[in-house]
Structure 1
Amino acid sequence: MQSSQTASGTVKKALLVLDQVASFERPVRFHELLDGSPYPKGTLYRMLQTLRSEGMLSYDEMMQTYSLGIRLVRLAHTAWTQSSLAPVARPILDALSKSLGETIHLAQLDNAQVLYVDKRNAKSAIEMFSQAGKVGPAYCTGVGKAMLAFLPENELSRALELQSYHRFTPHTLGTEQELSAELENIRSRGYAFDREEHEPGIICIAMPILTQAKQVIGAISVTSTTSRTSLDQLETLAPKMQDAASDIARTAEHWRFPVEQKTKEPLEN
């Protein structure tokens, strides 16, 4: 029987390969994967064939390209409906979007990064990085900072260690000290801003979604551009955003969300 350590290593390799295929956001050839893979050619090929046989990847014989498989799509859809805030928040986001006419984001934390789980476009569309399903940095996005600010101390310490602090723009917070000071301001204010920290010209106000027990389960944001509005104008939307965040939290109060385990599961005999 395969040891638990070997099985764990195999699963990690498979997940890394799936992440790599997904990162291209298009069908990808073997040599492209090999160029960025930590695995030898033979190991990578075997992993791809196993994932393909299990329906996690599909392969186009004519184009000789790999892409994510239908089985993975089914699993992703199930995760979205069972573990994401998106189904719970949908009618509330719809109402907020109709009321404001601006771009609305819904996000959750995923391993100290931001996972965008839903989005409503503005009446006049804005080109930006964030799309539902994409993962972005927490330290330089409004939703990310709004969630980080209200994490328990032990979870926050771990999350801060995992930030990259790459300076995307001249406004990006570049150190843990800068971010910690910003998070303190967010706690006092109750909401966060993105001051062109991730993308030039893109600004937002973001509100954490907190349960009655003050557990962070997500965040929402209203995003615009410096050519259309200002942070002062966005700040006037805070009361409506707070109402929407509270509505989502109440609706989700009895919803089941996956929580990172604090202790290891007992091993089966």
Structure 2
Amino acid sequence: MAQTARPGDGTVGKALEVLDHVASYGRPVRFGELLQDTPFPKATLYRFLQTLTHQRMLAFDPDRGTYVPGLRLVRLAHTAWAQSSLAPIARLHLDQLSASVGETVHLAQFDHAQVLYVDKRNARQPVEMFSQAGKIGPAYCTGVGKVMLAHLPPADLARALDLQSWHRFTPQTLCDADSLRAELQAIRARGFGYDREEHEPGILCIAAPVLTRAGRILGALSITTTTARSDLDQLARRAPQLQATARAIGDEAEAWAFPQPPTTD
């Protein structure tokens, strides 16, 4: 889902909105498609696309007449992954947890009231599912999303709930704020949460928050399986191991600091 620029964001915000729209297609996109899906006049949209292409944030294929995210954006994304995501810090913890439980392990962070999957380890017997590293998912109906929502300060939670789509993916999806608030209260009480086939049929998960020592939410960690090979009771037995791994990631993230440049005499 592309993020909409706010009135005070000016030209930069609008250009980033165009960039977001191009990326949201997940494939090369033509000018005519963007013109239909964005609020900008034809000349304005063309100007933004030209600028983003000149700056290598987009790449244009003249043979097909399509735009895709550019290599400069790829470079910036790699830098952001290394400096802003939990993924580099959590890598070994994810490897160990995945090897131990034999199921799919996800690491996610909160991005504009949505879930951003920043890393993933596949099960010994992989299952096709929505989540992939770099993909955005809904917060209100995923295990990682709900545990992150559960640990937001009240004002931030209210804003995040206002931004949820409340689309019913399955019969189990919680589709209103009141129902979800009750679920979030239960998550805070027990320290972990579930996805009970709320986002995808046949997919179950148990999720735990990655927190600072002060209780600030950094991200979330989950173990995901299918109804064909497990159930919620079996997942619940993984909770202590999952929570211990989430705490280890939180402790390491809090202690981590950028390397300092060498001093010169």
When normalised by structure 2's length, the TM-score is 0.92
Q: In structure 2, give the amino acid aligned to 1:255.
A: W
Match of 1:157 in 2: 158
CA contact (8 A) 1:82 1:256 kept: no
Give the aligned partner of residue 241 of structure 1.
242
**Structure 2 CA distance for aligned equivalents of residues 30 and 111 of structure 1:** 26
The unaligned stretches of length 5 or more in structure 2 are 1-5, 259-265
Displacement of 1:33: 1.4
Q: How far apart are the structure 1 equivalents of 2:242 and 2:137?
A: 22
Write the letter of the residue equivalent to 1:65. T
- Distance of aligned partners of 1:43 and 1:201 in 2 relative to their CA distance in 1, 3 Å threshold: same
What code does the residue aligned with 1:178 have? S
Per-residue CA distance 1:121-174 (angstroms, 9 max, x = gap): 111111111111111111110001111111222222222222221111110001
Aligned AA for 2:169?
Answer: F
Percentage of identical aligned residues: 63
1:20-54 deviation line (CA, Å, top 9, x unaligned): 11111111111121121211111111111110000
Using the TM superposition, give the Cα deviation of residue 256 of structure 1 relative to its aligned residue in structure 2, in angstroms. Answer: 6.0
Matching of residue 48 in structure 1 with residue 49 in structure 2: yes
Quick check: 1:80 aligned with 2:81?
A: yes
Give secondary structure in 2 for the equivalent of 1:105. strand
Q: Does residue 113 of structure 2 align to residue 112 of structure 1?
A: yes
1:250 match: 251
Count of matched residue positions in the alignment of Structure 1 and Structure 2: 253
Q: CA shift at 1:7, angstroms?
A: 8.8
| 1:6 Cα deviation from its structure 2 partner | 9.3
SS at match of 1:253: helix
Match of 2:9 in 1: 8
**Are residue 65 (structure 1) and residue 66 (structure 2) matched?**
yes
Work out whether residues 206 and 219 of structure 1, in 8 Å CA contact, stay in contact via their aligned partners in 2. Answer: yes
Report which stretch shifted further, 224-233 or 152-161: 152-161
Describe the SS at the equivalent of 1:158.
helix
For 1:1-269, what aligned pairs fall within 5 Å after superposition? Answer: 8-255=9-256
CA deviations on 1:200-248 (whole Å, 9 max, x unpaired) are 1111000111111111101000011111111111111111101100110
Contact map agreement 1:83 1:256 (CA 8 A) in 2: no
Q: Distance in 2 between the 1:70 and 1:254 partners?
A: 32
In structure 2, relative to structure 1, the CA distance for the partners of 1:256 and 1:199 (3 Å cut) is farther
1:61 offset after TM fit, Å? 1.5
C-alpha deviation, 1:255, in angstroms: 3.4
Question: TM (normalized to structure 1)?
Answer: 0.91
